[in-house]
Amino acid sequence: MKISKKNLPFIGLSSLVLLTPSFATAAEMTDMDHSGMDMSGDMSDMDHSSMDMSGDMSDMDHSGMDMSGMDMSGMDMSGMDHGSMDMSGDMSGMDHSGMDMSGDMSDMEHSGMDMSGMQGGQPPADARSPDYSNGVPYGQYGKPMMMGSMPLWGVSVDDLGYQFDEDQINFEAEGWYGTDSNRIRLRTEGSAQTKDDKEIDSLSSLAYWKPLSIFWNGEAGVAYDTENDNAAVMAGIVGTAPYFIETDARAYLYTDGQLRLDLGAEYEWRLDQHWVVIPEVGLTAFSKDDHDNGITKGFNEMETEIRLTYETFSRQLAPYVGLSYETALGKARGQRRQEDESVDSSSLTTGVKFWF
């Protein structure tokens, strides 16, 4: 079968003539000014899902377009350049609920977008009251505060026991009031004889307490020694040495020029939740001789004790039994022998320690 091809040039020329007005219309739209277009009407029925906005729209002026009523749920904006978009206007009426932005937006340019009109930025100066109350009263308990800033008090009795061989009662207690940063502490330690003249020898101090570092605290204040019947100025450091050894060092400068140094160390060896073994050692030294009070220059005495305690009532009460040992050091040994006093002594002890 023979097909004639003589009319093909005529058909192609006719198609070109028919498409020419469409090309002209598209070319004219690139220079159109849309600033006066009013699109505020009801455009909810318009279907923008098939609109292709991937072309060149850089010459189009949309500055005056009101698009508050447009539904842009189906628009594909993956190819748009947002670099020069001004979003400072009122966009509260636009419905973006159906916009699909899950596609690839890596090619979108946002560097020039002006978003100054969107929510954010610095709040006004009067947005919140300085105490964060916003005008609401705190009630009967007053303004809240951190636990470390709240003044508290406490009492601790580290030793209240009886020495059978020495026939005396030993005591060591302290009480404090203040915060975690500043406190006033009242401390006393000594012994009371239970026979003969029932003499009480004690060293008591009233001091200001303040943390020096994470593990160490400083003390400074005044003291009074009943054994020497003399007042003193005291300063000390108390804290936790490596391996959780509770350590204290206190110096006392008496009114007569005598300087006393007390050193102590204590460790708690916990056997279980209730049973605890506590070894303790203490040293006492003086700066000069005082024969009237049985004191010699240098280290005079060492006291050691080991106690087995049982903690009850949330560890606030702990009865104990133990063994204590005391010995004179240096020239104090010879002086005690001259005065016919014992140089070494040991005793079974029992007592209790508690705090509240």
Give the integer Cα–Cα distance in Å for 119 and 100: 22
Tell me the mean pLDDT in the region 318-329. Answer: 96
What per-residue confidence (pLDDT) applies to 1?
41
What per-residue confidence (pLDDT) applies to 62?
54
Query: With contact defined as beta carbons under 8 Å apart, do 318 and 310 qualify?
Result: yes
Position with higher pLDDT, 73 vs 170: 170
Element (H, E) at 45: none
Strand partners, 269: 277
Tell me the backbone φ, ψ of residue 97, rounded to 5 degrees.
-65, -30
Model-level pTM? Answer: 0.61
Position with higher pLDDT, 210 vs 336: 210
Structure tokens at 215: 């593990």
Q: Which residue type does 199 have?
A: E
Helix (H, G, I), strand (E, B) or coil at 199: coil
pLDDT in tens, 88-139: 555 555 565 655 655 566 666 666 666 555 556 666 666 666 666 666 666 6
pLDDT in tens, 139-177: 666 666 676 678 899 999 999 999 998 899 999 999 999
pLDDT in tens, 181-194: 999 999 999 999 88
CA dist 57 → 76, 82, 216, 244, 341 (Å): 14, 11, 73, 76, 111
Neighbour count for residue 252 (Cβ, 10 Å):
24
What per-residue confidence (pLDDT) applies to 139?
67
Q: 292: which DSSP letter?
A: G
Say if residue 47's pLDDT is above 80: no
Domain boundaries, the chain: 150-355
pLDDT in tens, 267-315: 999 999 999 999 999 999 999 999 888 899 999 999 999 999 999 988 8
Position with higher pLDDT, 54 vs 304: 304
CA dist 72 → 44, 85, 87, 102 (Å): 9, 17, 16, 15
Q: Which residue type does 189 have?
A: E
Percent of the chain with pLDDT over 70: 59
Position with higher pLDDT, 311 vs 57: 311
Structure tokens at 127: 């947005």
Torsion sign, CA atoms 45, 49, 55, 59:
positive
Quick one: how far is CA 5 from the chain centroid?
Answer: 92
Q: Of 54-68, 166-180, 198-212, where does mean pLDDT reach its minimum?
A: 54-68
Most confident of 48-57, 119-128, 161-170, 246-255: 246-255
What per-residue confidence (pLDDT) applies to 89?
54
The hierarchical CATH code for the domain 150-355 is: 2.40.160.40
Degrees, nearest 5: CA angle 122-138-143: 80
